[in-house]
Chain A
Protein backbone atom coordinates (compact mmCIF):
# COMPACT_ATOMS: atom_id res chain seq x y z
CA UNK A 1 0.00 0.00 0.00
CA UNK A 2 1.76 3.12 -1.15
CA UNK A 3 -1.20 5.40 -0.64
CA UNK A 4 -0.51 8.85 0.64
CA UNK A 5 -2.90 8.53 3.55
CA UNK A 6 -2.43 5.33 5.35
CA UNK A 7 -4.23 4.36 8.52
CA UNK A 8 -2.97 1.51 10.56
CA UNK A 9 -4.73 -0.56 13.10
CA UNK A 10 -2.73 -1.33 16.18
CA UNK A 11 -3.04 -4.89 17.26
CA UNK A 12 -5.13 -5.12 20.40
CA UNK A 13 -4.93 -8.55 21.91
CA UNK A 14 -7.81 -10.74 22.96
CA UNK A 15 -7.82 -14.15 24.60
CA UNK A 16 -11.13 -15.81 23.81
CA UNK A 17 -10.26 -18.93 25.77
CA UNK A 18 -10.56 -16.73 28.84
CA UNK A 19 -14.28 -17.02 29.63
CA UNK A 20 -14.47 -13.45 30.93
CA UNK A 21 -12.95 -11.99 27.75
CA UNK A 22 -15.22 -14.13 25.58
CA UNK A 23 -18.29 -12.95 27.50
CA UNK A 24 -17.24 -9.30 27.26
CA UNK A 25 -16.83 -9.70 23.53
CA UNK A 26 -20.24 -11.36 23.28
CA UNK A 27 -21.87 -8.56 25.26
CA UNK A 28 -20.42 -5.88 23.04
CA UNK A 29 -21.21 -7.53 19.71
CA UNK A 30 -24.36 -9.60 20.17
CA UNK A 31 -26.93 -6.86 19.51
CA UNK A 32 -25.08 -5.10 16.66
CA UNK A 33 -24.57 -8.45 14.92
CA UNK A 34 -28.26 -9.28 15.27
CA UNK A 35 -29.14 -5.96 13.66
CA UNK A 36 -26.54 -6.71 10.99
CA UNK A 37 -28.12 -10.13 10.30
CA UNK A 38 -31.55 -8.49 9.99
CA UNK A 39 -30.23 -6.51 7.02
CA UNK A 40 -29.89 -9.85 5.24
CA UNK A 41 -32.77 -11.98 6.43
CA UNK A 42 -35.24 -9.51 7.98
CA UNK A 43 -36.34 -11.83 10.77
CA UNK A 44 -35.41 -11.33 14.41
CA UNK A 45 -35.71 -14.93 15.62
CA UNK A 46 -33.55 -16.27 12.80
CA UNK A 47 -31.08 -13.41 13.32
CA UNK A 48 -30.66 -14.44 16.95
CA UNK A 49 -30.12 -18.11 16.01
CA UNK A 50 -27.54 -17.26 13.37
CA UNK A 51 -25.60 -14.94 15.65
CA UNK A 52 -25.56 -17.48 18.48
CA UNK A 53 -24.35 -20.22 16.13
CA UNK A 54 -21.57 -17.98 14.87
CA UNK A 55 -20.41 -17.15 18.40
CA UNK A 56 -20.14 -20.88 19.10
CA UNK A 57 -18.07 -21.19 15.91
CA UNK A 58 -15.88 -18.32 17.07
CA UNK A 59 -15.42 -20.00 20.43
CA UNK A 60 -14.27 -23.18 18.72
CA UNK A 61 -11.65 -21.10 16.87
CA UNK A 62 -10.57 -19.35 20.07
CA UNK A 63 -6.99 -20.59 19.96
CA UNK A 64 -6.41 -19.30 16.43
CA UNK A 65 -7.46 -15.77 17.28
CA UNK A 66 -4.99 -13.32 18.71
CA UNK A 67 -6.41 -9.89 18.00
CA UNK A 68 -9.73 -8.11 18.43
CA UNK A 69 -9.92 -7.17 14.76
CA UNK A 70 -9.44 -10.83 13.78
CA UNK A 71 -12.32 -11.86 16.02
CA UNK A 72 -14.48 -9.10 14.52
CA UNK A 73 -13.66 -10.04 10.93
CA UNK A 74 -14.34 -13.66 11.68
CA UNK A 75 -17.72 -13.10 13.25
CA UNK A 76 -19.02 -10.52 10.75
CA UNK A 77 -18.01 -12.78 7.87
CA UNK A 78 -19.59 -15.88 9.34
CA UNK A 79 -22.83 -14.08 10.20
CA UNK A 80 -22.98 -12.84 6.60
CA UNK A 81 -22.33 -16.30 5.14
CA UNK A 82 -24.86 -18.01 7.37
CA UNK A 83 -27.46 -15.33 6.59
CA UNK A 84 -26.96 -15.63 2.83
CA UNK A 85 -27.25 -19.37 3.14
CA UNK A 86 -30.47 -19.04 5.08
CA UNK A 87 -31.79 -16.56 2.55
CA UNK A 88 -31.22 -18.73 -0.50
CA UNK A 89 -32.86 -21.68 1.23
CA UNK A 90 -35.97 -19.92 2.39
CA UNK A 91 -39.00 -20.47 0.15
CA UNK A 92 -40.43 -17.01 0.69
CA UNK A 93 -37.67 -15.12 -1.05
CA UNK A 94 -37.19 -17.59 -3.88
CA UNK A 95 -39.03 -15.13 -6.08
CA UNK A 96 -36.71 -12.31 -5.16
CA UNK A 97 -33.62 -13.81 -6.75
CA UNK A 98 -32.43 -10.37 -7.77
CA UNK A 99 -32.60 -9.20 -4.19
CA UNK A 100 -30.46 -12.14 -3.03
CA UNK A 101 -27.94 -11.35 -5.76
CA UNK A 102 -27.68 -7.76 -4.60
CA UNK A 103 -27.13 -8.77 -1.01
CA UNK A 104 -24.44 -11.29 -1.91
CA UNK A 105 -22.03 -8.60 -3.16
CA UNK A 106 -18.91 -7.56 -1.30
CA UNK A 107 -19.92 -3.92 -1.35
CA UNK A 108 -23.27 -4.64 0.32
CA UNK A 109 -21.37 -6.49 3.02
CA UNK A 110 -18.83 -3.75 3.62
CA UNK A 111 -21.51 -1.03 3.62
CA UNK A 112 -23.52 -2.93 6.23
CA UNK A 113 -20.43 -3.53 8.37
CA UNK A 114 -19.60 0.16 8.34
CA UNK A 115 -23.18 1.16 9.08
CA UNK A 116 -23.75 -1.19 12.03
CA UNK A 117 -20.23 -0.78 13.41
CA UNK A 118 -20.59 3.00 13.48
CA UNK A 119 -23.81 2.73 15.42
CA UNK A 120 -22.35 0.08 17.71
CA UNK A 121 -19.48 2.39 18.72
CA UNK A 122 -21.88 5.30 19.14
CA UNK A 123 -24.34 3.28 21.28
CA UNK A 124 -21.48 1.98 23.38
CA UNK A 125 -20.29 5.51 24.12
CA UNK A 126 -23.77 6.91 24.76
CA UNK A 127 -24.60 4.06 27.16
CA UNK A 128 -21.74 5.21 29.36
CA UNK A 129 -23.17 8.75 29.77
CA UNK A 130 -25.08 9.80 32.91
CA UNK A 131 -28.88 9.48 32.53
CA UNK A 132 -29.79 13.11 31.69
CA UNK A 133 -27.01 13.53 29.15
CA UNK A 134 -27.93 10.22 27.57
CA UNK A 135 -31.54 11.33 27.14
CA UNK A 136 -30.43 14.58 25.57
CA UNK A 137 -27.98 12.89 23.22
CA UNK A 138 -30.54 10.32 22.10
CA UNK A 139 -33.07 13.06 21.33
CA UNK A 140 -30.42 15.09 19.51
CA UNK A 141 -29.50 12.07 17.40
CA UNK A 142 -33.20 11.69 16.60
CA UNK A 143 -32.89 15.10 14.95
CA UNK A 144 -34.54 17.19 17.65
CA UNK A 145 -33.39 20.79 18.12
CA UNK A 146 -32.39 22.17 21.54
CA UNK A 147 -35.77 23.94 22.18
CA UNK A 148 -37.61 20.72 21.25
CA UNK A 149 -35.40 18.69 23.61
CA UNK A 150 -35.99 21.25 26.38
CA UNK A 151 -39.73 20.92 25.89
CA UNK A 152 -39.72 17.12 25.89
CA UNK A 153 -37.66 16.89 29.06
CA UNK A 154 -39.19 20.04 30.60
CA UNK A 155 -35.90 21.76 31.34
CA UNK A 156 -34.53 25.13 30.19
CA UNK A 157 -32.92 25.54 26.78
CA UNK A 158 -29.71 26.75 28.46
CA UNK A 159 -29.65 23.63 30.53
CA UNK A 160 -29.91 21.49 27.41
CA UNK A 161 -27.16 23.52 25.80
CA UNK A 162 -24.67 23.07 28.65
CA UNK A 163 -25.50 19.41 29.20
CA UNK A 164 -25.08 18.71 25.51
CA UNK A 165 -21.67 20.35 25.57
CA UNK A 166 -20.66 18.27 28.57
CA UNK A 167 -22.00 15.14 26.89
CA UNK A 168 -19.78 15.73 23.87
CA UNK A 169 -16.74 16.08 26.09
CA UNK A 170 -17.64 12.83 27.87
CA UNK A 171 -18.24 11.03 24.61
CA UNK A 172 -14.79 12.06 23.49
CA UNK A 173 -13.14 10.58 26.54
CA UNK A 174 -14.97 7.28 26.15
CA UNK A 175 -14.08 7.19 22.48
CA UNK A 176 -10.45 7.61 23.47
CA UNK A 177 -10.02 3.83 23.31
CA UNK A 178 -10.41 4.23 19.62
CA UNK A 179 -7.78 6.93 19.32
CA UNK A 180 -5.36 4.47 20.61
CA UNK A 181 -6.23 2.08 17.83
CA UNK A 182 -5.91 4.74 15.18
CA UNK A 183 -2.68 6.04 13.88
CA UNK A 184 -2.31 8.49 11.11
CA UNK A 185 0.56 8.95 8.75
CA UNK A 186 -0.06 12.05 6.74
Chain B
Protein backbone atom coordinates (compact mmCIF):
# COMPACT_ATOMS: atom_id res chain seq x y z
CA UNK B 1 0.00 0.00 0.00
CA UNK B 2 2.66 2.48 1.05
CA UNK B 3 5.00 1.98 -1.88
CA UNK B 4 2.06 2.77 -4.13
CA UNK B 5 1.49 6.03 -2.23
CA UNK B 6 5.18 6.90 -2.65
CA UNK B 7 5.04 6.22 -6.37
CA UNK B 8 1.93 8.33 -6.86
CA UNK B 9 3.62 11.18 -4.96
CA UNK B 10 6.61 11.00 -7.26
CA UNK B 11 4.43 11.07 -10.37
CA UNK B 12 2.45 13.95 -8.86
CA UNK B 13 5.55 16.03 -8.04
CA UNK B 14 6.94 15.50 -11.50
CA UNK B 15 3.56 16.30 -13.01
CA UNK B 16 3.69 19.66 -11.22
CA UNK B 17 7.12 20.24 -12.77
CA UNK B 18 5.74 19.27 -16.19
CA UNK B 19 8.11 16.39 -16.28
CA UNK B 20 6.06 13.30 -17.08
CA UNK B 21 6.51 11.16 -20.16
CA UNK B 22 3.37 10.21 -22.06
CA UNK B 23 3.36 6.72 -20.54
CA UNK B 24 3.82 7.99 -17.02
CA UNK B 25 1.07 10.56 -17.40
CA UNK B 26 -1.20 7.75 -18.55
CA UNK B 27 -0.44 5.83 -15.36
CA UNK B 28 -1.09 8.87 -13.18
CA UNK B 29 -4.36 9.70 -14.96
CA UNK B 30 -5.56 6.12 -14.68
CA UNK B 31 -4.97 6.36 -10.95
CA UNK B 32 -6.82 9.71 -10.79
CA UNK B 33 -9.82 8.27 -12.62
CA UNK B 34 -9.85 5.10 -10.53
CA UNK B 35 -11.95 6.64 -7.74
CA UNK B 36 -13.65 9.93 -6.85
CA UNK B 37 -11.42 10.10 -3.78
CA UNK B 38 -8.30 9.97 -5.94
CA UNK B 39 -9.69 12.66 -8.20
CA UNK B 40 -10.44 14.97 -5.26
CA UNK B 41 -6.96 14.43 -3.89
CA UNK B 42 -5.38 15.18 -7.25
CA UNK B 43 -7.26 18.47 -7.57
CA UNK B 44 -6.42 19.38 -4.00
CA UNK B 45 -2.68 18.81 -4.55
CA UNK B 46 -2.63 20.74 -7.83
CA UNK B 47 -4.45 23.63 -6.16
CA UNK B 48 -2.28 26.62 -5.21
CA UNK B 49 -3.90 27.28 -1.85
CA UNK B 50 -3.05 23.82 -0.55
CA UNK B 51 0.57 24.30 -1.57
CA UNK B 52 0.55 27.62 0.33
CA UNK B 53 -0.80 25.75 3.35
CA UNK B 54 2.15 23.33 3.17
CA UNK B 55 4.76 26.10 2.87
CA UNK B 56 3.22 27.97 5.79
CA UNK B 57 3.06 24.95 8.06
CA UNK B 58 6.56 23.88 7.08
CA UNK B 59 7.93 27.30 8.02
CA UNK B 60 6.88 26.73 11.67
CA UNK B 61 9.62 24.17 12.18
CA UNK B 62 13.27 24.83 12.93
CA UNK B 63 15.32 22.11 11.27
CA UNK B 64 18.65 23.12 12.81
CA UNK B 65 17.23 23.07 16.31
CA UNK B 66 15.59 19.71 15.65
CA UNK B 67 18.88 18.31 14.34
CA UNK B 68 20.67 19.30 17.54
CA UNK B 69 17.90 17.78 19.65
CA UNK B 70 18.05 14.57 17.62
CA UNK B 71 21.81 14.26 17.97
CA UNK B 72 21.57 14.62 21.74
CA UNK B 73 18.88 11.95 21.90
CA UNK B 74 20.91 9.49 19.83
CA UNK B 75 23.92 10.04 22.09
CA UNK B 76 21.64 9.32 25.05
CA UNK B 77 20.29 6.13 23.39
CA UNK B 78 23.81 4.98 22.63
CA UNK B 79 24.76 5.36 26.27
CA UNK B 80 21.70 3.38 27.34
CA UNK B 81 22.66 0.66 24.88
CA UNK B 82 26.19 0.42 26.25
CA UNK B 83 24.86 0.02 29.80
CA UNK B 84 22.47 -2.67 28.63
CA UNK B 85 25.39 -4.53 27.04
CA UNK B 86 27.38 -4.28 30.26
CA UNK B 87 24.45 -5.71 32.23
CA UNK B 88 24.02 -8.48 29.67
CA UNK B 89 27.64 -9.52 29.73
CA UNK B 90 27.60 -9.33 33.52
CA UNK B 91 24.58 -11.65 33.47
CA UNK B 92 26.30 -14.02 31.06
CA UNK B 93 29.25 -14.23 33.42
CA UNK B 94 27.02 -14.44 36.45
CA UNK B 95 24.68 -17.28 35.37
CA UNK B 96 27.41 -19.92 34.86
CA UNK B 97 28.95 -18.80 38.15
CA UNK B 98 25.59 -19.29 39.82
CA UNK B 99 25.15 -22.72 38.26
CA UNK B 100 28.66 -23.69 39.25
CA UNK B 101 28.04 -22.63 42.83
CA UNK B 102 24.72 -24.50 42.87
CA UNK B 103 26.43 -27.61 41.56
CA UNK B 104 29.13 -27.29 44.17
CA UNK B 105 26.46 -26.79 46.79
CA UNK B 106 24.53 -29.89 45.64
CA UNK B 107 27.63 -32.01 45.33
CA UNK B 108 28.93 -31.06 48.72
CA UNK B 109 25.53 -31.47 50.31
CA UNK B 110 24.28 -34.71 48.76
CA UNK B 111 27.37 -35.94 47.00
CA UNK B 112 25.41 -36.50 43.75
CA UNK B 113 25.23 -34.34 40.66
CA UNK B 114 21.85 -32.82 40.05
CA UNK B 115 21.21 -33.43 36.34
CA UNK B 116 18.28 -31.00 36.17
CA UNK B 117 20.50 -28.00 36.62
CA UNK B 118 22.79 -28.30 33.65
CA UNK B 119 20.29 -27.76 30.77
CA UNK B 120 19.69 -24.20 31.95
CA UNK B 121 23.03 -23.17 30.61
CA UNK B 122 22.45 -24.72 27.18
CA UNK B 123 20.27 -22.11 25.56
CA UNK B 124 19.98 -22.66 21.82
CA UNK B 125 21.02 -19.63 19.87
CA UNK B 126 20.98 -19.14 16.12
CA UNK B 127 24.42 -18.20 14.98
CA UNK B 128 24.25 -15.11 12.78
CA UNK B 129 26.09 -15.28 9.47
CA UNK B 130 28.57 -12.49 9.86
CA UNK B 131 30.11 -10.52 7.01
CA UNK B 132 33.73 -10.93 5.99
CA UNK B 133 36.41 -8.42 6.78
CA UNK B 134 39.78 -7.02 5.74
CA UNK B 135 42.15 -9.91 5.29
CA UNK B 136 44.62 -11.23 2.72
CA UNK B 137 47.91 -13.04 2.28
CA UNK B 138 50.91 -11.53 0.58
CA UNK B 139 53.28 -13.85 -1.20
CA UNK B 140 56.76 -12.40 -1.60
CA UNK B 141 59.16 -13.30 -4.41
CA UNK B 142 61.14 -15.44 -2.00
CA UNK B 143 58.07 -17.60 -1.44
CA UNK B 144 57.57 -16.27 2.07
CA UNK B 145 53.94 -15.57 3.01
CA UNK B 146 52.78 -12.65 5.15
CA UNK B 147 49.33 -12.61 6.75
CA UNK B 148 47.61 -9.26 6.43
CA UNK B 149 44.89 -8.88 9.00
CA UNK B 150 43.07 -5.89 10.41
CA UNK B 151 45.64 -5.34 13.13
CA UNK B 152 48.71 -5.86 11.04
CA UNK B 153 50.56 -2.59 10.65
CA UNK B 154 54.14 -3.16 9.68
CA UNK B 155 56.88 -2.57 7.15
CA UNK B 156 58.60 -4.98 4.83
CA UNK B 157 61.32 -4.60 2.31
CA UNK B 158 61.96 -6.43 -0.92
CA UNK B 159 64.91 -5.70 -3.21
CA UNK B 160 65.20 -2.09 -2.10
CA UNK B 161 61.44 -1.42 -2.24
CA UNK B 162 59.71 -0.44 0.98
CA UNK B 163 56.37 -2.13 1.54
CA UNK B 164 54.10 -0.46 4.07
CA UNK B 165 51.13 -2.25 5.61
CA UNK B 166 48.65 0.08 7.31
CA UNK B 167 44.91 0.73 7.47
CA UNK B 168 43.94 -2.36 5.48
CA UNK B 169 46.14 -1.47 2.58
CA UNK B 170 49.53 -2.64 1.42
CA UNK B 171 51.57 0.04 -0.26
CA UNK B 172 54.65 -0.28 -2.48
CA UNK B 173 56.93 2.77 -2.47
CA UNK B 174 58.52 3.80 -5.72
CA UNK B 175 62.18 2.84 -5.70
CA UNK B 176 64.77 5.47 -6.64
CA UNK B 177 67.34 3.19 -8.20
CA UNK B 178 65.84 1.03 -10.91
CA UNK B 179 68.96 -0.47 -12.47
CA UNK B 180 67.96 -3.98 -11.48
CA UNK B 181 66.39 -5.50 -14.59
CA UNK B 182 65.01 -8.80 -13.35
CA UNK B 183 61.39 -8.27 -12.28
CA UNK B 184 60.41 -9.57 -8.87
CA UNK B 185 56.77 -10.60 -8.52
CA UNK B 186 54.57 -10.51 -5.45
CA UNK B 187 51.06 -11.94 -5.23
CA UNK B 188 48.21 -10.70 -3.07
CA UNK B 189 45.65 -13.42 -2.32
CA UNK B 190 42.30 -12.61 -0.73
CA UNK B 191 40.39 -15.59 0.74
CA UNK B 192 36.64 -16.17 1.02
CA UNK B 193 35.05 -13.52 3.21
CA UNK B 194 37.90 -11.08 2.71
CA UNK B 195 38.76 -7.87 0.88
CA UNK B 196 41.94 -5.85 0.75
CA UNK B 197 43.42 -2.92 -1.09
CA UNK B 198 46.79 -2.38 -2.61
CA UNK B 199 48.77 0.59 -3.83
CA UNK B 200 51.30 -0.35 -6.49
CA UNK B 201 54.66 1.35 -6.90
CA UNK B 202 53.26 3.64 -9.65
CA UNK B 203 50.48 4.94 -7.36
CA UNK B 204 47.72 2.80 -8.93
CA UNK B 205 45.18 1.66 -6.35
CA UNK B 206 43.55 -1.77 -6.59
CA UNK B 207 40.69 -3.02 -4.40
CA UNK B 208 40.68 -6.80 -4.41
CA UNK B 209 37.42 -8.63 -3.70
CA UNK B 210 36.93 -11.95 -1.92
CA UNK B 211 38.48 -15.10 -3.47
CA UNK B 212 40.69 -13.13 -5.82
CA UNK B 213 44.37 -12.80 -6.44
CA UNK B 214 46.63 -10.28 -8.14
CA UNK B 215 50.18 -10.90 -9.27
CA UNK B 216 52.28 -7.79 -9.85
CA UNK B 217 55.95 -6.75 -10.06
CA UNK B 218 57.41 -5.00 -7.02
CA UNK B 219 58.68 -2.23 -9.35
CA UNK B 220 57.30 -1.68 -12.86
CA UNK B 221 59.79 -1.58 -15.75
CA UNK B 222 60.12 1.62 -17.83
CA UNK B 223 58.05 0.56 -20.83
CA UNK B 224 54.92 -1.21 -19.57
CA UNK B 225 52.99 -2.17 -16.48
CA UNK B 226 51.55 -5.69 -16.42
CA UNK B 227 49.54 -7.31 -13.62
CA UNK B 228 47.64 -10.63 -13.56
CA UNK B 229 44.19 -10.94 -12.01
CA UNK B 230 41.97 -13.82 -11.10
CA UNK B 231 38.65 -12.92 -9.51
CA UNK B 232 37.30 -9.40 -9.03
CA UNK B 233 39.11 -6.10 -8.59
CA UNK B 234 38.41 -2.39 -8.87
CA UNK B 235 41.29 -0.44 -10.43
CA UNK B 236 42.13 3.22 -10.16
CA UNK B 237 45.09 3.43 -12.55
CA UNK B 238 47.61 6.25 -12.19
CA UNK B 239 48.37 7.90 -15.52
CA UNK B 240 52.10 8.04 -16.26
CA UNK B 241 52.43 7.61 -20.03
CA UNK B 242 53.12 3.88 -20.07
CA UNK B 243 50.33 1.41 -20.76
CA UNK B 244 48.85 -0.56 -17.88
CA UNK B 245 47.78 -4.10 -18.75
CA UNK B 246 45.55 -6.40 -16.71
CA UNK B 247 45.70 -10.02 -17.75
CA UNK B 248 42.92 -12.36 -16.69
CA UNK B 249 42.66 -16.06 -17.59
CA UNK B 250 40.62 -15.24 -20.70
CA UNK B 251 41.16 -11.57 -21.53
CA UNK B 252 43.65 -8.80 -21.60
CA UNK B 253 42.74 -5.21 -20.77
CA UNK B 254 44.94 -2.31 -21.72
CA UNK B 255 44.61 1.19 -20.30
CA UNK B 256 46.48 4.44 -19.81
CA UNK B 257 44.89 6.02 -16.79
CA UNK B 258 41.33 5.11 -15.82
CA UNK B 259 38.96 3.69 -13.24
CA UNK B 260 37.29 0.36 -13.92
CA UNK B 261 36.08 -2.89 -12.42
CA UNK B 262 36.96 -6.37 -13.62
CA UNK B 263 35.15 -9.48 -12.53
CA UNK B 264 36.85 -12.60 -13.86
CA UNK B 265 36.15 -15.56 -11.62
CA UNK B 266 37.03 -19.01 -12.83
CA UNK B 267 34.05 -20.82 -14.35
CA UNK B 268 31.95 -17.65 -14.63
CA UNK B 269 31.49 -14.97 -17.28
CA UNK B 270 34.03 -12.15 -17.36
CA UNK B 271 32.78 -8.57 -16.88
CA UNK B 272 34.79 -5.41 -17.40
CA UNK B 273 32.99 -2.20 -16.40
CA UNK B 274 34.46 1.20 -17.14
CA UNK B 275 33.87 4.16 -14.83
CA UNK B 276 36.28 6.75 -16.27
CA UNK B 277 38.65 7.01 -19.28
CA UNK B 278 39.00 4.37 -21.99
CA UNK B 279 40.13 0.77 -21.99
CA UNK B 280 40.82 -1.78 -24.67
CA UNK B 281 39.63 -5.29 -23.95
CA UNK B 282 40.97 -8.23 -25.97
CA UNK B 283 40.35 -11.95 -26.11
CA UNK B 284 42.18 -14.44 -28.29
CA UNK B 285 40.36 -13.39 -31.45
CA UNK B 286 38.75 -10.05 -30.72
CA UNK B 287 39.62 -6.58 -29.45
CA UNK B 288 37.27 -3.71 -28.58
CA UNK B 289 37.33 -0.22 -27.05
CA UNK B 290 35.13 0.61 -24.06
CA UNK B 291 33.74 4.06 -23.21
CA UNK B 292 32.67 5.19 -19.74
CA UNK B 293 29.46 3.55 -18.44
CA UNK B 294 29.95 0.64 -20.82
CA UNK B 295 30.43 -2.93 -19.83
CA UNK B 296 32.05 -5.74 -21.80
CA UNK B 297 30.82 -9.25 -21.15
CA UNK B 298 32.50 -12.43 -22.26
CA UNK B 299 30.19 -15.36 -21.63
CA UNK B 300 31.52 -18.41 -19.91
CA UNK B 301 31.71 -20.63 -22.97
CA UNK B 302 32.50 -18.12 -25.67
CA UNK B 303 35.25 -15.84 -26.85
CA UNK B 304 32.90 -13.12 -28.12
CA UNK B 305 32.83 -9.70 -26.48
CA UNK B 306 29.40 -8.10 -26.03
CA UNK B 307 29.19 -4.44 -25.02
CA UNK B 308 26.30 -2.64 -23.37
CA UNK B 309 25.47 0.44 -21.30
CA UNK B 310 25.21 -0.07 -17.55
CA UNK B 311 24.87 1.85 -14.32
CA UNK B 312 28.48 1.63 -13.15
CA UNK B 313 27.55 2.00 -9.48
CA UNK B 314 25.93 -1.40 -9.65
CA UNK B 315 29.25 -3.02 -10.51
CA UNK B 316 31.74 -0.94 -8.60
CA UNK B 317 30.17 -0.03 -5.25
CA UNK B 318 31.18 -3.35 -3.67
CA UNK B 319 34.44 -1.84 -2.48
CA UNK B 320 32.42 0.71 -0.52
CA UNK B 321 30.45 -2.09 1.13
CA UNK B 322 27.34 -1.89 -1.04
CA UNK B 323 26.35 -4.64 -3.44
CA UNK B 324 23.57 -4.14 -5.92
CA UNK B 325 21.85 -6.61 -8.19
CA UNK B 326 19.33 -5.80 -10.84
CA UNK B 327 17.11 -8.48 -12.37
CA UNK B 328 19.69 -11.13 -11.52
CA UNK B 329 19.24 -14.91 -11.13
CA UNK B 330 19.07 -16.01 -7.49
CA UNK B 331 21.92 -18.45 -8.03
CA UNK B 332 24.17 -15.70 -9.42
CA UNK B 333 23.28 -13.41 -6.50
CA UNK B 334 24.06 -16.13 -3.97
CA UNK B 335 27.29 -17.11 -5.76
CA UNK B 336 28.53 -13.57 -5.41
CA UNK B 337 27.41 -13.37 -1.76
CA UNK B 338 28.92 -16.71 -0.79
CA UNK B 339 32.34 -15.42 -1.72
CA UNK B 340 31.88 -12.80 0.96
CA UNK B 341 29.77 -14.55 3.58
CA UNK B 342 30.84 -17.94 4.77
CA UNK B 343 27.69 -19.75 3.57
CA UNK B 344 26.74 -22.84 1.62
CA UNK B 345 23.70 -22.52 -0.58
CA UNK B 346 21.44 -25.23 -2.01
CA UNK B 347 18.32 -25.04 -4.12
CA UNK B 348 15.21 -27.23 -4.00
CA UNK B 349 15.03 -27.26 -7.78
CA UNK B 350 16.28 -25.57 -10.92
CA UNK B 351 13.30 -23.23 -10.99
CA UNK B 352 14.17 -21.54 -7.68
CA UNK B 353 17.76 -20.98 -8.73
CA UNK B 354 16.46 -19.23 -11.85
CA UNK B 355 14.15 -16.78 -10.04
CA UNK B 356 15.24 -13.20 -10.67
CA UNK B 357 15.55 -10.47 -8.07
CA UNK B 358 16.71 -6.90 -7.81
CA UNK B 359 18.23 -6.16 -4.47
CA UNK B 360 20.80 -4.41 -2.36
CA UNK B 361 23.02 -5.92 0.28
CA UNK B 362 25.05 -4.04 2.83
CA UNK B 363 27.96 -6.39 3.00
CA UNK B 364 29.45 -4.85 6.11
CA UNK B 365 26.53 -6.33 8.03
CA UNK B 366 25.23 -9.83 8.69
CA UNK B 367 23.16 -11.56 6.03
CA UNK B 368 19.89 -12.06 7.99
CA UNK B 369 18.06 -8.86 6.97
CA UNK B 370 18.69 -9.67 3.32
CA UNK B 371 17.32 -13.23 3.69
CA UNK B 372 14.25 -11.85 5.49
CA UNK B 373 13.71 -9.50 2.62
CA UNK B 374 13.84 -12.36 0.12
CA UNK B 375 11.28 -14.25 2.24
CA UNK B 376 8.98 -11.26 2.33
CA UNK B 377 8.71 -11.21 -1.47
CA UNK B 378 6.64 -14.38 -1.09
CA UNK B 379 8.36 -15.89 -4.11
CA UNK B 380 10.74 -18.16 -2.31
CA UNK B 381 11.00 -20.17 0.90
CA UNK B 382 14.25 -19.70 2.79
CA UNK B 383 15.55 -22.12 5.41
CA UNK B 384 18.71 -21.36 7.32
CA UNK B 385 20.63 -23.92 9.37
CA UNK B 386 23.83 -22.45 10.69
CA UNK B 387 25.78 -21.36 7.65
CA UNK B 388 23.76 -23.54 5.26
CA UNK B 389 21.01 -21.82 3.36
CA UNK B 390 18.29 -23.66 1.42
CA UNK B 391 15.92 -22.14 -1.11
CA UNK B 392 12.63 -23.83 -2.05
CA UNK B 393 9.76 -23.00 -4.37
CA UNK B 394 6.68 -21.68 -2.66
CA UNK B 395 4.31 -24.39 -3.88
Contact = CB atoms under 8 A, between A and B. Distances in A.
Interface residues of B, number: 60
A143 B17 contact: no
Contact of A35 (B7, B44, B54, B360): B54
A121 B9 contact: yes
A153 interface: no
A176 to B, nearest CB: 9
A11 B360 contact: yes
A147 interface: no
A30 B66 contact: yes
B41 A66 contact: no
B90 interface: no
Interface string A1-26: 00001010111110101010011001
Contact residues of A: prevailing secondary structure: helix
B149 to A, nearest CB: 24
Contact of A123 (B5, B19, B58, B66): B58
B30 A115 contact: no
Given A7-B7, A32-B58, A122 B17 contact: yes
Contacts of B369: 63-66
Contacts of A178: 10, 13-14
A115 B13 contact: no
A186 B48 CA distance: 32
A125 B14 CA distance: 10
B125 interface: no
A110 B5 contact: yes
B27 to A, nearest CB: 5
A52 B11 CA distance: 28
B50 A115 contact: yes
Identify the 7 closest CB pairs spanning chains A and B, nearest first.
Answer: A117-B9, A143-B48, A13-B360, A121-B13, A118-B12, A73-B2, A171-B17
Interface of B: 1-3, 5-14, 16-19, 23-24, 26-27, 30, 37, 41, 44-45, 48-52, 54-55, 57-58, 60-61, 63, 66-67, 69-71, 73-74, 77, 321-322, 324, 326, 358-362, 364-365, 369-370, 373
Interface of A: 5, 7, 9-13, 15, 17, 19, 22-23, 26-27, 30-32, 34-35, 38, 44, 47-48, 51-52, 55-56, 59-60, 63-67, 69, 72-73, 76-77, 106-107, 110-111, 113-123, 125, 138, 141-143, 168, 171-172, 175, 178, 181-182, 184, 186
